[in-house]
Amino acid sequence: MEKELIYSVEDDINISDLIKYTLEEAGFNIKCFSNGYDMLEALKMQTPNLVLLDIMLPDIDGTEILKIIRTDYSYLPIKVIMLTAKSSEINIVMGLNAGADDYMPKPFSVLELIARVKANLRKKNTTIEMEEMTFGEIKIIIRKRIVFVNNNQVALTQKEFDLLKLLIENAESIVSRETMFEEVWGKENAMETRTIDMHIKSIRQKLNLQKENIITARGMGYKLTEMKENQEIE
């Protein structure tokens, strides 16, 4: 099983080393950052399961980083634990109101840190689970009608989005052209077969799929499936 990834943002090297050693011993994959901007750059490339976030950082306030995570990356189920010397009630309330899942004051117990991390990772974000569908590198946010490939947003038309959603819902199964017409364009609309082909071609190009592809089932329809070696596509 792949280890859960944790980002730690802490400018005190001694505390950072302690966090890294503790969580690695507990079986987590952890990446440490001494400032906020480096972590935000890494976030563009790889999504952690959880972020341990200090407030007082040399470049950007931890609360501001939290706001960025909760706005620019609101579609990602990232847990955030504030780990900071600012332990007054008002600081805790501000952190939780800004979107933190938990708040730990310094100094902290390493055993409590492990327990808090595990407890937060067990919590499920039901809103995201209900709104989000994934297939391999593809992720769609249903309510917002947004598509991502490797966390990079891809612009699709309304019909392209509906077709992709239908294919993901029926992944590894052939979706007939008749079903596509009915689900995407409506039963009453008379459409040319070429219309579906053009939309599928556009989806393939925009998503630039690698491990996954939309396979043509000649005379029947299309199937979203994992790319097989030497597999031919239309």
pLDDT at 124: 61
The per-residue pLDDT for range 64-115, each reduced to its tens digit, is 999 898 888 876 788 999 988 876 777 777 778 778 888 898 888 999 999 9
Any alpha helices (H) in the chain, and if so which ranges? 13-25, 36-45, 62-72, 89-97, 110-122, 126-131, 158-169, 177-180, 193-207
pLDDT at 44: 85
Q: Any idea which residue has 């938990």 for tokens?
A: 102
What H or E segment, with its residue span, contains residue 184? Answer: none
Architecture of domain 130-226: Orthogonal Bundle (1.10)
How far, in Å, CA of 11 to CA of 39, rounded?
12
Q: Which residues of 183-218 are buried (b: 16+ CB within 10 A; e: fewer)?
A: bbbeeeeeeeeebbeebbeebeebbebeebbbbbee
Where in the chain is CATH 3.40.50.2300? 5-123
Q: Can you state the angle between helices 62-72 and 89-97, rounded to 10 degrees? A: 20
Comparing C-alpha atoms, which of 203, 206, 158 is closest to residue 216? 203
β-strand 50-53 against 5-9: which pairing, if any?
parallel
What percent of the chain lies above the pLDDT cut of 70? 87
pLDDT exceeds cutoff 70 at 187: no
Residue 80, helix vs strand vs coil:
strand
Comparing C-alpha atoms, which of 211, 210, 135 is closest to residue 172? 135
Region 162-183 average pLDDT: 88
CATH number at 5-123: 3.40.50.2300
Joined together, the tokens standing for residue 223 give: 């199937």
Is residue 214 within 8 Å of residue 223, measured between CB atoms?
Answer: yes
pLDDT exceeds cutoff 60 at 233: no
pLDDT at 229: 40
Provide the β-strand partners of residue 176: 221
Between 116 and 90, residue with greater pLDDT: 116
DSSP state of 65: H
Region 220-232 average pLDDT: 67
Q: What is the average pLDDT value for the chain, to the nearest integer?
A: 83
Dihedral, 18, 21, 24, 26 alpha carbons, nearest 10: -70
Q: Rounded to two decimals, what is the model's pTM?
A: 0.56
The per-residue pLDDT for range 10-51, each reduced to its tens digit, is 999 999 999 999 999 999 999 999 999 999 999 888 889 999
